[in-house]
Amino acid sequence: MVVEDERPLAQLVADYLGRAGFAATQAHSGTDAVELTRTLDPDLILLDLGLPGLDGIEVCRQIRAMTDAYVIMLTARDDEVDKLIGLGVGADDYITKPFSPRELVARVQAALRRPRASTLVAPDGERPVVYDGLSVDLQAREAKVSDTLVALTRTEFDLLAALTKGPRRVFSRRQLVDAVWGADWVGDEHIVDVHIAHLRRKLGDNPTEPRWIETVRGIGYRLTATVDH
């Protein structure tokens, strides 16, 4: 679904998607986008941030309550605030205007190759892993801090799950992209930084004095804590 109030741009994107083999539906307002999501259950939503009335942020909040569709935010404002806000309400990716329609189609194709259900799961019977008060249950897809459940998006949980695969091991951004988005994903690898920032905030982890997630300058991230026994 293409959600864009500029109708010529929406039609252009829909045409490119159609030529790539996708069935593209258009919505030209936030209200229409919410209603179409409820009735059509699209696999992926291209969502303009600067919609009049019900803007892209609020649309993303509302559709996240009814679907796990991939959401790629489209924004003409190339600044970190918009990107952080957009991704903080459950968007999976973003792309800034002006963009190449071919690049956009490639991003859509890469996103849809990523399984909607995470492949980062635990074998039957495996117990949650606990790191200094942080419990990660891969089977239940739950994270708890001091027994309090933390509400994470799918992407945030997948990043945390990927980090648990190697406590104290340093994971590069590319390795985390491969684990969470898939090896075929195209785009800015610093999307990892945006999601890690939200993950830390929700866990209550201070990046300057990390309890769990440490930045390894120039490389990526690792879990600082060892597994509790």
Fold of the domain spanning 129-223: Arc Repressor Mutant, subunit A (1.10.10)
Q: Residue 197 contacts by C-beta under 8 Å, 6 or more apart in sequence? A: 84, 207
- What's the pLDDT at 190? 80
CATH 3.20.20.150 matches 2-112: no
Residues found in the chain: 229
Scanning 30-180, the segments in alpha helix (DSSP H) are 30-40, 56-64, 80-88, 101-112, 154-164, 173-180
pLDDT band (50, 70, 90) for residue 2: very high
Average pLDDT, the chain: 85
Residue 29's pLDDT is: 94
List, as one string, the DSSP characters of 11-62: HHHHHHHHHTT----EE-SHHHHHHHHHHH--SEEEEETT-SSS-HHHHHHH
User: For residue 90, what are its two tokens?
Assistant: 């459950």
Residue 72, SS3 per DSSP: strand
Indicate whether 174 pLDDT > 70: yes
List CB contacts of 180: < 8 A, sequence separation 6 or more: 120, 155, 158, 159, 162
pLDDT band at 113 (very low <50, low <70, confident <90, very high): confident
pLDDT digits 0-9 by tens, 117-165: 555 555 555 678 888 889 999 888 899 999 899 988 878 898 999 998 8
The pLDDT of residue 52 is 85
Instruction: Say what angle helices 7-19 and 101-112 make with each other, to 10 degrees.
Output: 60
Q: Where are the domains positioned within the chain?
A: 2-112, 129-223
- pTM of the predicted structure, to 2 decimals: 0.66
5: tokens are 């109030």
Per-residue model confidence (pLDDT) at position 50: 87
